[in-house]
Amino acid sequence: MTLKTIPEAPAARPCVQVQCDLTPKALERWNPSIKAAVTDDNTITMYDPIGYDWWTGDGVTAKRVSAALRSIGDSDVTVKINSPGGDVFEGLAIYNLLREHKGKVTVQVLGLAASAASFIAMAGDEVQIARAGFLMIHNSWTGVAGDRNDIREVADFLEQIDGSLADIYAVRTGGKVEEMSRLMDVETWMGGSAAIEAGFADSLLASDATKEDTNAMTPHQVAARRLDMILAKQGMPRTERRSLIQDLKAGMPGATPSGKPNAADTPADLANPIAELQAALARFSAAATKTGE
């Protein structure tokens, strides 16, 4: 596999209102404590969601990857991934940056490469995956508001994006675009050996290539992501979820006036709001079900 054979991906966003979010299942299965045992100056790590991550104030962005590649120059680069995915458009931009890099790109999937992280991995000249690692591919999905013409326009655009992603997967695996589309339609998860057998990866990583960093995420970030996942499952838009959780954090003991990510210190700070919100959502769901009877 050479970079010249990998298809270029469309990176344009149809409008600023369209934001592609994490899937709750990917967030549930993501273990953020898995990291590389060893890195060097020619390593780019992707240990966060793709796109700006509101919880950490960081995230894997095209701007960050571009800066890292400029620093590395034309030398070979190793990209180490453990990410639940995220914004498909940011992922496409990152994919194109790696695709255009003049040096060899080696991708190592340490834990999870889901959604946008999975097609970023396809930009590697060589893809290695941990035996216990996972790849997940699916159709791009988003929340959008507007009339039927606005929604239809976004749906048509996402269909084009899905076709481009299927093409990328097909070129990497040697399979057919139609086959990749079927796998994306049903959201396909592949373990390390299965990913190699299907052509998404080339080899298994050595068992000592990863380590577990128990301090990878602070307690408040774990709790906040848990709450965010609950709200996402209920269909609440991302902007509303973040506004609600900011309000909760602002009213907690030890919260900072700005409501920045370090506002809560322990899981207990968010435990009660999470429990209360779960109960409220359960009551709401029961009422909605009763109304629909």
> Which of 212, 230, 263 corresponds to the end of one domain?
212
90 and 165 assigned to the same domain? yes
Looking at the fold, whether 154 and 282 belong to one and the same domain comes out as no
* Cα(219)–Cα(32) distance, integer angstroms: 12
Assess whether 109 and 170 both reside in one domain: yes
Which of 156, 178, 212 is the last residue in one of the domains?
Answer: 212
Q: Which of 195, 212, 229 is the last residue of a domain?
A: 212
Whole-number Å distance between alpha carbons of 28 and 23: 9
Q: Nearest Cα to 82, choosing from 55, 51, 54, 118?
A: 118
Q: Tokens for 68, please give them.
A: 């890292």
* Counted domains in the chain: 2
Residue 252 is assigned to a structural domain of this protein = yes
Do residue 12 and residue 134 come from a single domain? Answer: yes
Q: Note if the pTM is more than 0.85.
A: no
Are 231 and 139 contained in the same domain? no
What DSSP letter does each residue of 144-207 carry, written as one string?
A: --S-HHHHHHHHHHHHHHHHHHHHHHHHHHT--HHHHHHHHHT-EEEEHHHHHHTTS-SEEPPG
Residues 43 and 182 in one domain: yes
Residue 278: predicted pLDDT? 57
Tell me which residue range forms the domain holding 137. Answer: 3-212
Q: Are 232 and 193 found together in one domain?
A: no
Decide if 174 is inside a domain. Answer: yes
Does residue 293 belong to any structural domain of this protein? no
Residues 149 and 33 in one domain: yes
123 and 32 share one domain: yes
151 and 269, same domain (yes or no): no
255 inside domain? yes
Q: Angle CA(161)–CA(189)–CA(94) in degrees, nearest 5?
A: 40
Active site residues: 115, 138
Tokens of 208: 């000592």
- Tens digit of pLDDT at every position of the chain (293 positions): 444 577 776 665 555 445 556 677 888 888 989 999 999 999 999 998 898 776 666 789 999 999 999 999 999 999 999 999 988 889 999 999 999 999 999 999 999 999 999 999 999 999 999 999 999 999 987 766 778 888 888 888 889 889 999 999 999 999 999 999 999 999 999 999 999 999 999 999 998 999 988 776 655 666 666 676 677 666 676 677 767 766 765 655 444 444 444 444 444 555 555 565 556 555 555 554 554 44
Q: Which residue has the tokens 């919880």?
A: 55
